[in-house]
Amino acid sequence: MLFVEGNEYLLEATQKRGIKRLKVFPLASLQRKYHPTYMFNNEFFWQNTGSKFTTRYASANWVKKSQYLAN
């Protein structure tokens, strides 16, 4: 997910090479057929504990399950 100015954009399964504008990222709230159970970044791993139909990826339904700690 990419969080910009109150909007959430879907990065998974999108072309990332040569990106110059945000419009190439689909707005998450419009992706009704995308049903994620987990999400992660380079530090944390979250699980969706709410509805599988969520389109709000910053909601309290995303529970942090683990943290990556580099040696």
Order of strands, sheet of 62-67, starting from the edge strand that comes earlier in the sequence: 38-40, 44-48, 62-67
Name which residue leads in pLDDT, 51 or 11.
Answer: 51
Averaged pLDDT score across all residues of the chain: 83
For 21, the domain range is 2-67
Q: How far apart are the C-alpha atoms of 55 and 47, rounded to whole Å? A: 14
Residue 28 has pLDDT above 70, yes or no: yes
Residue 19 has pLDDT above 90, yes or no: no
- The model carries a pTM of 0.70
Residue with tokens 């040696």: 71
Residue 15 has pLDDT above 60, yes or no: no
Amino acid 60: pLDDT: 93
* Number of domains making up the chain: 1
Amino acid 17: pLDDT: 58
Complete DSSP assignment for the chain: -EEETTEEE--TTS--TT--SGGGSPBGGG-TT---SEEE-SSEEEEE-S-TT---TTSTTEEEEEE----
